[in-house]
């Protein structure tokens, strides 16, 4: 991903985005990264791309991915993660526990935050930690 994909927002504008707003953006950023990675790495056939992507973007999968990252997050990133995790949600998908859903919301908020800050390199670092096994 190139830096020009990132939004240019001030620190105040970023702080004013709700945790759910950041998670909404982060969900799209992370899913695009997963889909791109699956296609470019040949990890799935055209027929199996959707199923393979769901294996990475579901709430339980994102909660597992978050556990891989926690020790590597900066204090600022941990604060964003906590803010996302503590957000009240109105519904939880059937395939996820409440804890998994809160963790996945935090994970998405982190990716959204980094995206709106323009920290594409950091997003790529974190993504590599998730997919390189």
- Asked if 73 and 84 touch (Cβ cutoff 8 Å), the reply is no
- Asked if 117 and 17 touch (Cβ cutoff 8 Å), the reply is no
**75 is a catalytic site residue:** no
Going 87 to 90 to 94 to 97, the CA torsion angle's sign is positive
As a whole number of angstroms, the longest Cα–Cα distance in the chain is 44
Candidate list 3, 12, 27, 128, residue with the active-site label:
27
Q: What positions carry a catalytic annotation?
A: 27
């Amino acid at each position: 991903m190139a830096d020009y994909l990132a939004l240019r927002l001030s620190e105040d504008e970023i702080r004013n985005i709700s945790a759910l707003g950041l998670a909404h953006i982060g969900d799209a950023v992370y899913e695009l990264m997963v889909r791109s990675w699956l296609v470019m790495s040949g990890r799935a056939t055209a027929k199996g791309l959707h199923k393979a992507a769901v294996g990475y973007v579901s709430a339980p999968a994102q909660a597992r991915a978050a556990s891989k990252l926690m020790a590597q997050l900066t204090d600022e990133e941990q604060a964003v993660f906590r803010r996302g995790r503590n957000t009240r949600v109105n519904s939880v998908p059937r395939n996820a526990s409440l804890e998994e859903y809160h963790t996945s919301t935090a994970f998405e908020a982190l990716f959204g935050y980094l995206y709106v800050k323009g920290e594409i390199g950091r997003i790529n670092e974190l993504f590599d930690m998730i997919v390189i096994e």
